[in-house]
Structure 1
Amino acid sequence: MKPVAALFGRRARLRWLHLIIGGALLMPYFLVGTVLVGMAGGGEQLFSSLSSQLVAFALALPMAAATGFFALVRPLCVAAARALCGVPPALLADGPARTRQARMRTAGWFTLHLALGGIVSGATLALPPFAVAVAGLPFFAGLRDTGLLDGSRVLREPWVLALAPFAGLAMLVALALAAAAAGEVLARRAPVLLGPTPEDRLAAAERRAADLAVRNRLARELHDSVGHALSAVTLQAGAARRVLDRDPEFVREVLTAIEETTRRTVGELDSVLGLLRQDGEPDDEGAAYGPGLDALGGLLAHCGVPVAYEREGGPEDPGAMQPVVSREAYRIVQEGLSNALRHGGDASCPVRLLIAVRERELEVVMENPLGERPAVTRPGGGRGLRGIAERAVLLGGRAEARPVDGVWRLTARLPLTVPGTDGVREGRR
């Protein structure tokens, strides 16, 4: 049954149809070739001469190849190959052929498809009637006298008449074999000629890298803004619950801090989610991606831990530096405060924060007491320090965090100037 399925099964029939479509597409080029041959030979015996038709066929193929250089030919060929040739979709390229190599491959495929399709289509039109006539010789005397089979004496020989039905059947099987072989050739060449070129693979890799960078950037923004707010609110709410009956004034201050924290975080969250609703890049980088160092006062006032803040060098206005540097420094401070809330030691000891503007870099140093108990790692947690390192590296800086002399020290150094942009769009890098 397998040989029969290979010749007449669904896949074989679809490939045969694909070849017939190729033959139909070849016809306009073949007719133009026929006209050219007729003009060269005076038009005598044009369609009755096999040699003239072969020349017209040969002239049609270069014209078909020239058509294959159009960019939109490839998606049409890919759609037909996926539907009719049984080629796995992942092996074929998507989109128009943009590069010279892709267009040359498409032209090669288009020419091969039309050449094989023209041959198989011509055989499909001509061979079955001839095979049926040969198979009917023993049963219909009139067939032996037709011009089609040239009623000669040999056709009346008994052995010829006995073999004629088998000969006709063999012709039909040979046609099916030829169609199956041509379809297999196309199916095997499709991934090579219609598959992605090295340039296509590079472009796809760049798109995947850009998409991944955008996802990572959004994940960092959500982690730092929402994660910090939830940590602060959770700890402040717990502290308020423990002294609710003893110190109403403290509880009132805590609730105010929670209100300010959540209000600020809702604004940051709306800004980050706004990136998902935009088709293009935002115009205002600072507003689009989050606050900068100019908003540091509000963060420190309601972060949930006391902070001893020092500033060295640089302009009086923290927002005067390059927006991307200011923004990333703010996020690093925010994540450092979140870590101090979750894993710090004595809550009465303030977190030390130093922001120093050097000649070419911005240095952020944060220190908080180490906790007496090991920090409990949350399921799926542990992304904060990695996010800090990613932010620093994307700007061309560096960051490290480790215990030093009984305190946990976070140090980040960022370049003051990011070449070529007023703000980093990581997804475009």
Structure 2
Amino acid sequence: MRVAVRALRRAVGPLVRSSTYARGVYVFFGGVVCIPYAALAVIFVIGLRRDDATAGGIALILALALVAVAGGGAVTLLPGVRTLEIVTVRALLGVKLPDPDPASRQTWEARTRGSVFYFLTLAVGGCVSSLVIMSIPLGVTMLLVPFSGSHAVTLTLTRRFAPAAHSTPAAILMGCAGAALLCAAVYLLAGAGALLARAAPILLGPTQADHVAALRRQERKLAAGNRLARELHDSIGHALTAMTMQAGAAGRVLDDDPEFARRALHLIEETGRSALGELDEALGMLRRGVDEELSGSTLAGLDRLTAGYAGAQVLSTVTGDLNAVPPLVSREAFRVLQEALTNAVRHGDGGPIDLVVRATPSTVRLEVTNGVTAGRGRGTSGRGLIGMRERVLMLGGELRAGASSDRWSVCATLPWPEPAP
């Protein structure tokens, strides 16, 4: 019983679904657009079959036909045709198609596929809409045959079926045939709409250029996410490490050296404000959803970076003009130093930290060295070291990190093209 009910629902479904009639509108739209093409074809055929047609006239008709075919085909290759088809297919055929990439709309693959779907719509729409237009009046007329004996209007409409109207069984059979013809017209519309809906993703779906553009957008999105993650890791991690050290140092000397504790608390306040500013900038980028560069700090703020570690002894050596380093390289170098110092404070033995920055006309070399507690080493798989390596490699540089005896060092070289003379 359930199987029979399901089969009945499946059979009746196309007759009652709204999508059938929405797709039918699209099919009729193809039939309407097909009319000018059919009219031109009829005119050319009539011209060629005239008895008084001369060789010159036939040549002229063939030339005009060739021009008409070429012009009609060329129009379908315009980039806007495929875009219009996608919008119409979404609305009437109910097919979910992504927006075409603006760059890929100019490719010949996209234009050709849009042109093929255009002519497929015309062929299917022209044939099906013609059959449906003929079937509906005929089916309605046949359906009214059983009632033609009591309605003057139906008698006029069913005059051609008058013999059948005198026989009640034949009239009823004629009415059932009319109802079946109307149902067949609806099924024909549903089948044509389903055919076009199945062909739409193949011909109007993403092209190879669309897939490449989508991959590039995804790549840019992932790169932007990785960059934000590095920025947040470095800036917030540095701030928390510095604030923890300063708070611990202030707590240890609060009674013996209140002035030092006051300076440490002031540094905690400044570090917190700076971290909040960088966090707000990063979150702003996430809210806007745009791919842009964080302003960040540069090597010009190196003194502020080292001053943030009030409880650590950072011995800085700077050679060269740091202001001559390009902004992008200077910003990435600052982040590398920031992460290296944070790791040195977290994992070092508490002794002096040597920081060396050497700037030349084409490179900047960074080196951070600190002591490590005996028996305690660090690998190179930490998130911080991965982030530093990504920054350096992005600029075509080189980074080395590792332990030698009881010292841990991070060395990075960041190059940039020399300015033209």
Q: Same fold (TM over 0.5)?
A: yes
CA contact (8 A) 2:146 2:165 kept: no
Structure (1/2) with the larger helix percentage:
2
Q: Where does residue 306 of structure 2 map in the other structure? A: 300
Evaluate the alpha carbon distance shift between residue 213 and residue 276 of structure 1 in structure 2; reply closer, same or farther with a 3 A threshold: same
Is 2:329–2:414's contact at 8 Å kept on the other side of the alignment? yes
What residue in structure 2 maps to residue 177 of structure 1? 187
Alignment-mate amino acid for residue 354 of structure 2: R
Against the structure 1 CA distance between its residues 231 and 29, is the aligned structure 2 distance closer, same or farther, given a 3 Å change threshold?
farther
CA contact (8 A) 1:362 1:415 kept: yes
> Does the aligned pair in 2 maintain the 1:30–1:60 contact within 8 Å?
no
CA shift at 1:227, angstroms? 2.5
Does the CA-based 8 Å contact 2:221-2:291 persist in structure 1? no
Q: How many angstroms does 1:143 deviate by?
A: 10
- For residues 167-187 of structure 1, give each alpha carbon's deviation from its aligned partner in whole angstroms, at most 9, with x where no partner exists: 323322321222122111111
Gaps of 5+ in 1: 43-57, 421-429
Q: Distance in 1 between matches of 2:186 and 2:291?
A: 56
Q: What is the CA-CA distance between 1:202 and the residue it aligns to?
A: 0.4
Q: 1:247 to 1:98 in 2, by over 3 A?
A: same
Structure 1 residue aligned with 2:404? 404
Which segments of 5 or more consecutive residues in structure 2 lack a partner in the other structure?
A: 1-8, 51-65
Query: What amino acid is aligned across from residue 109 of structure 2 in structure 1?
Result: Q
Which residue does the alignment assign to 1:362?
364
Aligned to 1:426: none
Q: TM-score, normalised by structure 2?
A: 0.76
Shift of 1:217: 1.9
Choose the corresponding residue for 2:249, options 239, 254, 257.
239
The one-letter amino acid paired with 1:84 is L
Instruction: Verify the 8 A CA contact 1:61 1:111 in the aligned structure 2.
Output: no
Aligned 8 A contact 2:220 2:291 in 1: no
C-alpha distance in 2, partners of 1:13/1:307?
78
User: What SS does the corresponding residue of 2:79 show, helix, strand or coil?
Assistant: coil
Residue matched to 1:327:
331
How does 1:154-173 map onto structure 2 within 5 Å? 163-173=173-183
Q: Aligned partner of 1:164: which letter?
A: M
Q: Is 1:291 aligned to residue 290 of structure 2?
A: no
- TM-score under structure 1 length normalisation: 0.75
1:201 Cα deviation (Å)? Answer: 0.7
Pairs within 5 Å for 1:5-404: 5-27=13-35, 65-87=73-95, 89=96, 91-94=97-100, 97-137=105-145, 139-140=147-148, 163-262=173-272, 264-265=274-275, 289-304=295-310, 305-311=312-318, 316-346=320-350, 349-357=351-359, 361-371=363-373, 383-404=383-404
Q: CA deviation at 1:329?
A: 1.0
Partner of 1:46: none
Change (3 A) 1:64 1:133: farther
- Identity among equivalent pairs (%): 38
Residue correspondences, number = 390
User: What are the superposed Cα offsets for residues 1-37 of structure 1, whole Å, 9 maximum, x if unpaired?
Assistant: 1121134423323322322333344456556667777
Amino acid at match of 1:192: I
